[in-house]
Amino acid sequence: MAKVYFYYSAMNAGKSTNLLQSAYNYYAKNEKSSVANLACVLVDEAQFLTREQVRQLTDISDVLEMPVLAYGLRTDFLGQLFEGSKYLLAWADELKELKTVCFCGKKAIMNMRQDANGNAVTKGDQVEIGAEDKYTSLCRVHFKEKVTRNV
């Protein structure tokens, strides 16, 4: 029975690295099979998926009996769920959290967007492409201290 897996975390927890390792593992396991045979579906940046795209991924798992491994952020820089993450959290067969740490050493579960001076950004578009250097991962305590006090 194939499943939909959602691997989620805060920024910089190694989601893409984990995806590449999974791709290698599936390839190594199936390298003697035909190139036309797909072993699984891998999705990076799954938070950007739409509801319909997540539904289609569940169809791939349910109808084609192919594993789907989706990797993405759970929440944005204001602590709000992304659409893709919302539906993956609701519909995935297995949820797997990849962990990273806050500067204080606690588990980081939130993403803070920061300006050039390191101050929390509390307004703006949910998606800012190519701005990975503007984000830091925080525990909930420090996220609330730095971000929600200004919202």
Q: Which residues are tagged catalytic?
A: 45
Identity at 25, one-letter amino acid code: N
DSSP one-letter code for 75? B
Contact between 104 and 142 under an 8 Å Cβ cutoff? The reply is yes
How far does Cα 36 stand from its chain's mean position?
28
| Cα distance between residue 70 and residue 131, in whole Å | 21
Instruction: Give me 130's structure tokens.
Output: 């190519």
Q: Which of 113, 117, 141 is nearest to 127 (CA)?
A: 113
Q: Could you give the CA distance from residue 21 to residue 145 in angstroms, rounded to a whole number?
A: 36
Among 21, 26, 125, smallest CA distance to 82 is for 125
Query: Which residues, 6 or more positions from 50, have their beta carbon under 8 angstroms from its beta carbon?
Result: 83, 84
